[in-house]
Amino acid sequence: MTAAAPDSGSHMNTDTTIGYIGLGNMGAPMATRLLDWPGGLVVCDARAEATEPFTAAGARAAATPAAVAAEATVISVTVLDDAQVRDVVAGPDGILSTARPGTVIAVHSTISDVTAIDLAQTCAASGIHLIDAPISGGAPGAQQGRLAVMVGGSEEAFAAVREPFGRFAELVVHAGEVGAGTRMKLARNLLHFISFTAATEAQRLAEAAGLDIRKLGKVVRHTDAITGGAGAIMLRETTAPVAESDPWFSILSHVRNLGEKDLSLALDLGERLDVDLPLATRALSGLGPGLGVGAGDLSETFEKEHA
């Protein structure tokens, strides 16, 4: 797996015309950053009015995905779901009906990895590359050009998209073969929404304790920006148990001990306030093993007391 800053590595031919299909909340700001691409930009959206700001800025508009593929050899797709992606790629007026061999289709929509693999096989029969390239960073990241893109595809296809993707992304990662980009996005969003659920649990505890949960939110956002949040522990190459001789053992044991202490205190507060904290309970028992260093004394003590 490789990760690259937008300007590193070999450069593609900038005479290549870029196509962009799907100009919604994410697609429009991403495509906007390609307006000055030297080879030109062709845009397409089911809503004709969505293309008007782009044509006013010098891009060309196409009525169908097929018309985009008649001009462009690198085509980004940001539409709603699997069904729309299938239609854009392989439908009656889809990209495949006019695309030339060597064309790269980049699907930014979060779809099933199975759909990505299936469509990639269909495209390969015509000498066309389809890559899954989901994005992370949301609308603010798109507006600021600070997205992360996780690419599943061949080295050749990755080389073709790395430079144009660098226009709207700060981080472009080659996750592996087709499907790997989507799997990485799903793992990333698993953490995202579990964290949201944990935030709701923390808010309930804080509210029951008479605290201003908006101020709590300010503190969380401030300190996560400093510490890196949950991603700060995602540095090892494996989730296997850590040997005591490994330098990581003392670091992660320290993290476990701090975490178990704070979780135990939070659970004690929850018991006194009659607030159920199921995620905190799960975290207390799972933190040490999850970090690869085993449960600590506080986790074992809690398990015995609540057996």
CA distance 149 to 138: 11
Segments in 20-106 forming alpha helices (H): 27-32, 52-56, 65-69, 82-90
Contacts of 201 (CB under 8 A, 6+ apart): 277, 278, 279, 280
The DSSP bridge pattern shows strands 2-4 and 169-176 to be: antiparallel
For residue 110, the cross-strand partners are none
Cβ contact 182:112 at 8 Å: yes
CA distance 203 to 199: 6
Residue type for position 184: M
- Identify which of 133, 132, 109, 137 has the alpha carbon closest to the alpha carbon of residue 120: 132
- Identify which of 160, 264, 266 has the alpha carbon closest to the alpha carbon of residue 204: 266
For residue 304, indicate whether it is catalytic. Answer: no
Residue found under tokens 């990505």: 116
Catalytic residue among 185, 218, 261, 304: 185
Residue 251 neighbours by CB distance under 10 Å? 15
Contacts of 129 (CB under 8 A, 6+ apart): 102, 103, 104, 105, 120, 123, 153, 154, 156, 157, 160
Cβ contact 260:284 at 8 Å: yes
Catalytic residues: 185
